[in-house]
Amino acid sequence: MCLSTLYGVRNDKREKLGEYISNVTMRDGEYVFTDVLGNELTLKGRINSLDLIRNEIIIELEKRQPRKYEMIREIYNKCSGNQMRDVFVSDEETDDPEEFVLGMLEGKDVTTSKEELSDGTVIIDADVAGLKQRFTFSPG
């Protein structure tokens, strides 16, 4: 049995989207990738490569339109006696809030975690060389 790994390419970035893909079909102009357990992933785009030797499927995904967000950036104070935070509010457009934050903090030692809320809000907590920051992106 030949099962494939599915990769998506968008804005010159390659990302693994699924594993153990056993079937590819079209439904309403979109590709439906089904894994061996029957889970489906529906994507819009164009298949660039179907490599049956390496068991890889590469799909070029449609470019996302940037969304408008209100971004709140909170920088937590490291001083033990001071519980105040620096807070900055700005309007931003991005199709990927996490990439946006990493771009802002480029060149620094950063680890991030991301939470997506049901209302579309994206919260990214960043540790920048020991300084904690929170970025909250609310759809606007």
User: What DSSP state is assigned to residue 136?
Assistant: E
CATH number of the domain where residue 9 is located: 2.30.30.240
> What's the whole-number mean pLDDT along residues 113-124?
92
Q: Place 19 in a pLDDT band, splitting at 50, 70 and 90.
A: very high
φ, ψ of residue 82 in degrees (nearest 5): -120, 110
pLDDT value, residue 82: 66
Note the Cα 44 to chain centre separation in Å: 16
Statement: residue 85 has pLDDT above 90: no
Residue 61 has φ and ψ, to the nearest 5°, of -80, 150
What residue type is assigned to position 106 of the chain? E
- What end-to-end distance do the CA atoms of the chain give, in Å? 47
Check whether residue 119 and residue 74 sit in a common domain: yes
Greatest CA separation for the chain: 63
Specify whether 53 is located in the same domain as 72: no
Same domain (yes/no): 74, 110: yes
Instruction: Tell whether 76 and 126 lie within a shared domain.
Output: yes
Same domain for 123 and 72: yes
Q: Are residues 40 and 93 in the same domain?
A: no
Would you say residue 32 has pLDDT above 70? yes
Q: What secondary structure, in 3-state letters, does 85-123 show? A: EEEEEEEEEECCHHHHHHHHCCCCCEEEEEEECCCCCEE
20 Cα distance to chain centroid: 21
Total domains in the chain come to: 2
Over residues 83-99, mean pLDDT: 87
Is 134 found in the same domain as 72?
yes
Identify whether the C-beta of residue 33 lies closer than 8 Å to the C-beta of residue 105: no
For residue 80, the enclosing domain spans 67-139
26 and 80 share a domain?
no
